[in-house]
């Protein structure tokens, strides 16, 4: 017998706590998000470092509030991770390589 009930995404009684939790998770994840953003944009050139930092800040802000809005577990924090940054950096390098070959 399955006693699992569907949990509504937005519970008004928990919304305030969920939003504050998302905000706290965003602040904890902010330094790593900035570093990962700069790492991912660095293959494009040194002038893109600031844009990478801004992308990291915007991404972690949106991630914090979207994760809070959809809920989840009581002890789950959504944050950027190093393996994803490594993969995105490799994708960026590959796209630059393909673009430079197409231009030549």
Instruction: Report pLDDT digits (tens) over 24-71.
Output: 777 788 888 899 889 888 888 888 889 999 998 898 878 777 776 776
**Mean pLDDT highest for which of 6-15, 29-38, 60-69, 79-88?**
29-38
With beta carbons less than 8 A apart as the criterion, state whether 42 and 36 touch. Answer: no
């Amino acid at each position: 017998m399955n006693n699992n009930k569907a949990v509504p995404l937005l519970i008004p009684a928990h919304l305030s706590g969920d939003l504050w939790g998302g905000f706290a998770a965003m602040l904890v994840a902010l330094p790593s998000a900035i570093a990962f953003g700069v790492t991912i944009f660095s293959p494009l050139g040194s002038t893109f470092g600031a844009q990478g930092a801004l992308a990291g800040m915007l991404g972690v802000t949106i991630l914090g509030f979207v994760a809070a809005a959809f809920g989840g577990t009581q002890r789950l924090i959504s944050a950027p991770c190093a393996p994803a940054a490594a993969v995105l950096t490799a994708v960026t390098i590959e796209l630059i390589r393909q673009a430079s070959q197409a231009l030549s």
